[in-house]
């Protein structure tokens, strides 16, 4: 049995080996190490592990700028494990790429065919399967290749991500391969995606902070290493505090994620808000600490910032706080039993 550190190390190696690969090749490489089936049930070749085991894996992927929609693959292999086992197996085995459109919803018309435009679908241009929400509730699994009717995939310009370019997908009269009912499984996918995004942001953020520390330790100015300047040391100490705060919040949210089938816990809101603010702060701070170098295309800080900004927009710190404000004096989930 692998422990969390083993899994994270394996994921880091596998993600590094995916540099420069397209989505299909990356899927095959990740599947070699069993990474895509971490959350999927055993019937489709998965390991059936809890969400907390997937977090260090997506964080490792983020640190390596993995060019693959890993969060989507992990969660879809779990979601489809029972309802569409063939598709789930193909995802786990790295034979087919699946993604999710995180913005918008499709309209189902009379005969059940789907219409409309959804966005924020990472690498939809390279994927066979797309899952998108439906206006009536729940979601649909769509085969983008076999589609009768018409499918258009365009660049989604609201996204910054370079490794996993997001797409706008427009369907005109395309049948669903599978309907996913509104309910616990779909709610859990949406809520768990937020925690994996938080993990990705912190993976990128921590990597950027470490890179910035290495840079200012090497770099000399005014006759001494940059790192000797108290102004920079204090700034990095603040970055570390933001990172540790968010990690504490995320670890707790992951630990209690299984007790919260609807994804409405205070722990999740706290994790979303802290990560969505720490992630961009760490990446932007690292660019600043790199000086002019940080503004160049070749120094990959901007790639992290792009991914983290996309994730932060979806984690939506302001929305999380607004939801929490309505419940600001409610006991936390792990403290509710105290009154009994």
Partner 1 sequence: MDSAALNALASSDPAAYRRAIRDWIATNLPPAWRSDAIDKVDPTLEELKDWEARMYRAGLWGAAWPKEYGGHGLTLREHLIVSQEVGRVPMPESVNSIGKELAGPIILAIGTEEQKKRFIPAILEMREIWCQGFSEPEAGSDLAGLRTRATHDGKVWRINGQKIWTSGGWRAQRCLLLARTGTLEDRHKGLALFALRMDAPGVTVQRIKQIDGEAEFAQVFFDNAPVEEIDALGAPNEGWKAAVRVLEIERATNRMYRAWRLENELRHLVSACRADPNLATLLSDPAYAQRLAQFRIEVEVLKRYVEGAVEDLVSGGSIGARGSLMKLHWSEAHQRFVALAMELLNQASLPPPPEVRAAQRRFRKAYMRARAETIYAGTSQIQLGIIADRILRLPRAA
Give the interface with partner 1 as residue ranges (CB under 8 A).
213, 217, 224-225, 227-228, 230, 233-234, 236-238, 240-241, 244-245, 248-249, 251-252, 266-267, 269-270, 273-274, 318, 321-322, 324-326, 328-329, 332, 335, 337-338, 340
Q: How far apart are the first and last CA of the chain?
A: 37
* Identity of the residue, 124 or 213, whose beta carbon is nearer to partner 1 in the bound complex: 213
* Identity of the residue, 202 or 266, whose beta carbon is nearer to partner 1 in the bound complex: 266
Query: Rounded to the nearest 5°, which phi and psi values hold at 168?
Result: -95, 130
Least CB distance to partner 1 at residue 260 (A): 14
138: Cα separation from own chain's centroid: 20
Least CB distance to partner 1 at residue 277 (A): 10
CA atoms within 13 A on the CB side of 329: 0
How many C-beta neighbours within 10 Å does residue 157 have?
9
- d(CA 129, CA 132) in angstroms, rounded, equals 10
- Judge whether 61 and 311 are in contact, CB under 8 Å: no
Least CB distance to partner 1 at residue 106 (A): 31
* Identity of the residue, 170 or 245, whose beta carbon is nearer to partner 1 in the bound complex: 245
* Identity of the residue, 39 or 275, whose beta carbon is nearer to partner 1 in the bound complex: 275
* Identity of the residue, 239 or 304, whose beta carbon is nearer to partner 1 in the bound complex: 239
Least CB distance to partner 1 at residue 222 (A): 11
Pairing of strands 220-221, 98-108: unpaired
Least CB distance to partner 1 at residue 133 (A): 26
Least CB distance to partner 1 at residue 86 (A): 41
Q: Look at residues 281, 287, 283 and name the one whose alpha carbon lies nearest to residue 238.
A: 281
Burial group, residue 124, by CB count within 10 angstroms (0-12, 13-18, 19+) = buried
- Judge whether 56 and 7 are in contact, CB under 8 Å: yes
Least CB distance to partner 1 at residue 238 (A): 7
- Judge whether 70 and 208 are in contact, CB under 8 Å: no
Q: Is residue 116 helix, strand or coil? A: strand
* Identity of the residue, 47 or 267, whose beta carbon is nearer to partner 1 in the bound complex: 267
* Identity of the residue, 150 or 217, whose beta carbon is nearer to partner 1 in the bound complex: 217
Burial group, residue 329, by CB count within 10 angstroms (0-12, 13-18, 19+) = exposed
């Amino acid at each position: 049995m692998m422990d969390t550190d083993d899994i994270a190390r394996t994921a880091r190696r596998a993600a590094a080996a995916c540099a420069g690969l397209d989505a299909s090749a990356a899927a095959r490489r990740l599947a070699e190490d069993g990474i895509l089936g971490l959350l999927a049930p055993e019937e489709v070749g998965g390991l059936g592990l809890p969400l907390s085991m997937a977090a260090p894996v997506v964080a490792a992927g983020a640190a390596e700028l993995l060019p693959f929609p890993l969060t989507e693959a992990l969660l879809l292999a779990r979601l489809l494990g029972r309802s569409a086992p063939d598709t789930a197996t193909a995802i786990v085995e790295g034979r087919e790429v699946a993604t999710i459109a995180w913005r918008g919803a499709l309209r189902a018309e009379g005969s059940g065919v789907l219409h409309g435009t959804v966005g924020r679908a990472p690498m939809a241009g390279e994927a066979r399967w797309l899952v998108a929400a439906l206006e009536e509730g729940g979601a649909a699994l769509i085969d983008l290749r076999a589609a009768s009717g018409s499918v258009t995939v365009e660049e989604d310009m609201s996204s910054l991500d370079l490794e996993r370019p997001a797409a706008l997908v427009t369907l005109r009269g395309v049948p669903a391969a599978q309907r996913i009912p509104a309910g616990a499984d779909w709610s859990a996918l949406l809520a768990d995606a937020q925690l994996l995004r938080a993990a990705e942001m912190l993976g990128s953020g921590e990597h950027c902070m470490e890179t910035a520390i290495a840079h200012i330790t090497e770099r000399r100015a005014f006759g001494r290493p940059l790192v000797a300047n108290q102004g920079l040391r204090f700034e990095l100490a603040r970055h570390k505090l933001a990172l540790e705060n968010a990690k504490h919040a995320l670890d707790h949210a992951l630990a209690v994620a299984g007790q919260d089938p609807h994804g409405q816990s205070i722990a999740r809101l706290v994790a979303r808000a802290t990560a969505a603010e720490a992630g961009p702060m760490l990446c932007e701070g690292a660019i600043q600490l790199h000086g002019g170098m940080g503004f160049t295309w070749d120094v990959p800080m901007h790639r992290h910032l792009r991914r983290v900004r996309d994730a932060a927009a979806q984690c939506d710190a302001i929305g999380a706080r607004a939801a929490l404000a309505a419940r600001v004096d409610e006991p936390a989930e792990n403290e509710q039993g105290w009154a009994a």
